[in-house]
Structure 1
Amino acid sequence: MTIRDVAARAGCSIATVSRVITGNGPVSEDMRKRVVQAALEVGFAIARAFPETRPIISILIPSLTNPVFAVAVAGVEQRARSAGLSTVLGQSNYDPAQEEEIVTALIGERPVGMIMTVCDPVSSVALQRVRKAGLPVVTIYNEGTPEGVGAVSVDNRGAVRRMTEELLALGHRNILFVGGRFVSSDRSARRYEGYRDAMTAAGLQTAPAIEVDFIDATKDIDLTEVIADHRPTAIIASNDLLAVTVIGSLRRAGLSIPEDVSVVGFDGIDFARHVSPRLSTIQQPSQAMGTLAASLLLDMAAGHKPPQQLRPDVIPLSGETIAPPRQCGLSTVNQPPKPA
């Protein structure tokens, strides 16, 4: 494929395509997106045609609402600054369609490479577009990233399996998992698998995941019906923000934490340490992960390293939201769940 093919697909002149590739000359933002989109559609590796990249790293994350992503971005920016680079940021709001749109714009910035958290790296069209464009790319937080792509992630499944085993050791049997919608987060899906692994190994019934929208769930979750149906003694939330919202919902139902229901989060964000009672959670080294992702990306861009997939350890953070379940008869929530 040639520049002529790109121009024909974009409905513009060859000179316009050239201006987008070189960055020399005026081009509207709409036309820039059209040219990049056309290049991706016809299979023209537009990034490889750049005579020189700009000194920036492009970053795509689901949202800055969750501090875990903001902390990782801080790590990326710190490493970028040390290398004399800047960053450009886009948010997808946990939406695969928005991922595709934003990635097209980020490719047009002519970065040295891209760091991304996508909904699902296996099916992500956005990730495929970055690879077709010829840009070095590293995913952060995503597991199951395809070969040939750098990645920095933790063992989500194993971490939640161990946490569920801890709850089981305390005597909990009616444990629920509340998470973001799996279609929007492979991390949430992996964490549910860890919960399911532990419950199955213990010979216990695995309850279906309670899936909620990440953006809306930070405002409120109504668990009234869930509590009535399942009567859980413990709830595992797929991240700390959801855990805090779960605690609020349980309190509105007249329940105490952890006396009536134990609650566990995931991420280890700073403000969760100030929740009362202090949240029990699993900490990801988010800032270090951002720094690792940026370092790996720069090494890949310079040809010093091939794509690698790195897995730092998580750190269990003991808090005050876990306790043994009440004895039978002392709490209405400590009764067997209804048959599925």
Structure 2
Amino acid sequence: MTTLQQVASRAGCSLATVSRVLNRTGPVSDEMVRKVRRAAAELGYRPAGGPPGSAKRRPVIGVLIPSITNPVFAASLSSIQNRMLVAGHGVLIAQSDYDPAREVDAVASLLNEQPTGLILTVCDARSSEALSAVLPPTVLLGNPPTARFPAAVCADNRQAGRDITEHLLAHGHRRILFVSGYFNASDRATLRYAGYCDAMDAARMTVLEALQIPFVDGFETLDLSMILSRFAPSAIIASNDLLALGVIAAIRRQGLSVPRDISVAGFDGIAIGRLTYPPLTTVEIPDATMGAAAASLLLDMAENAVAPRHLQVAHRLRPGGTVRDMRNDT
């Protein structure tokens, strides 16, 4: 049986350092963490067990998402669970409800279960200093990488924002409004709006201030009467598909038609968008693929001491029937 001392010798460090790395009980440099985990993997080291009298339990990973009810995260979760099932890991799930303050408590609860690693979709990875300073191997899902979290699986949301805006511009739209959840609750939405601004600036069109509403609820009662009167948009881009469907319902409550009176587009490519009539125009993000990739990357980092990586997945514009071509209007 491989001992801690053998792992320490292979890694070229002290027994205390090996203990801190494997038990996550103290600060250790990222380079030393990788050395110790690589040595443990190469030697086939496995902990002898928990405290006396405790039963050996199945390893688990922790997953934090903003909302369990959003089909985007449901698709990612399904892929994560399938990948972890094959690897013999359980999956613990927590949600933040798009609230940065709740993220801290949710991650702390996951850490109480001593997970092998974490997969996190946070509100804004750039402002996650409040999270515990000592974390197991961690992969961001949907968020772009940061200095603290270099391991990430995401799409290029800024480019996706440019692409959908350019699609509307190419169809003759000039007054385009961006409707979003609060930007401090989603760096994905912030980047998509930045892409909208890029495309509008490049076309020398007026950039309209984004309308920000809560992500969690209110879609079914969304009132756009004042905003439609103020901006008179010919098209609206919503920061995700669920919100886009809420925007379509709000437009119809005003006695208007989509796309005859106002065009609508979204992001994510959820299945329900293909079932509506007309089908939703959207930017399709491969959420299931992203979940599987994040799970595989986490296992590589945790079990094989692979260095953190940034994996960027491709998005695809999916034209539907909710965008009107205004170029032939007289």
Q: What is the distance in 2 between the residues matched to 1:115 and 1:134?
A: 11
2:205 aligned partner? 204
2:239 aligned partner? 238
1:29 aligned partner? none
Q: What is the distance in 1 between the residues matched to 2:171 and 2:293?
A: 36
2:176 aligned partner? 175
Gaps of 5+ in 2: 1-21, 34-46, 51-56
The offset of 1:147, in angstroms, is 5.1
- 1:180-211 residue CA offsets vs partner (Å, 9 max, x unmatched): 10000000100000100000011111000000
Q: What is the distance in 2 between the residues matched to 1:114 and 1:142?
A: 14
SS at 1:215's partner residue? coil
Q: What is the distance in 1 between the residues matched to 2:234 and 2:73?
A: 30
Q: Does the CA contact (< 8 Å) of 1:54 and 1:109 recur in 2?
A: no
1:290 aligned partner? 291
- 1:76-95 residue CA offsets vs partner (Å, 9 max, x unmatched): 10100010111000000001
- 1:250 maps to a residue whose letter is I
The offset of 1:136, in angstroms, is 0.1
The offset of 1:325, in angstroms, is 3.3
Q: What is the distance in 1 between the residues matched to 2:58 and 2:128?
A: 25
The offset of 1:66, in angstroms, is 1.1
1:107 aligned partner? 111
Q: Does the CA contact (< 8 Å) of 1:261 and 1:325 recur in 2?
A: no
The offset of 1:125, in angstroms, is 3.3
Q: Does the CA contact (< 8 Å) of 2:155 and 2:313 recur in 1?
A: yes
SS at 2:208's partner residue? coil
SS at 1:64's partner residue? coil
Q: What is the distance in 2 between the residues matched to 1:250 and 1:325?
A: 18
Q: Please state if 1:61 is matched with 2:49.
A: no
1:93 aligned partner? 97
- 1:291 maps to a residue whose letter is A
Give percent identity, aligned residues only: 45
**In structure 1, which of residues 112, 120, 124 is the aligned counterpart of residue 124 of structure 2?**
120
- 1:224 maps to a residue whose letter is S
- 1:117 maps to a residue whose letter is T
Q: What is the distance in 2 between the residues matched to 1:112 and 1:235?
A: 43
2:44 aligned partner? none
- 1:212-240 residue CA offsets vs partner (Å, 9 max, x unmatched): 10012333311000000011000000000
Q: What is the distance in 2 between the residues matched to 1:254 and 1:327?
A: 24
1:306 aligned partner? 307
Q: Does the CA contact (< 8 Å) of 2:219 and 2:247 recur in 1?
A: no
Normalised to the residue count of structure 2, the TM-score between the two structures is 0.81
RMSD: 2.3
2:215 aligned partner? 214
Q: What is the distance in 2 between the residues matched to 1:203 and 1:144?
A: 31
- 1:228 maps to a residue whose letter is S
The offset of 1:148, in angstroms, is 4.8
**In structure 2, which of residues 73, 79, 87 is the aligned counterpart of residue 83 of structure 1?**
87
- 1:247-299 residue CA offsets vs partner (Å, 9 max, x unmatched): 00001111111111110010011111111111011111111100000000000
Q: What is the distance in 2 between the residues matched to 1:310 and 1:326?
A: 38
Q: Does the CA contact (< 8 Å) of 1:240 and 1:267 recur in 2?
A: yes
SS at 1:323's partner residue? coil
- 2:125 maps to a residue whose letter is P
Q: Does the CA contact (< 8 Å) of 1:243 and 1:264 recur in 2?
A: yes
Q: What is the distance in 2 between the residues matched to 1:81 and 1:54?
A: 11
The offset of 1:72, in angstroms, is 0.3
Q: Which runs of 4+ in 1 moved over 4 A?
A: 50-54
SS at 1:112's partner residue? coil
SS at 1:235's partner residue? strand
Q: Does the CA contact (< 8 Å) of 2:140 and 2:149 recur in 1?
A: no
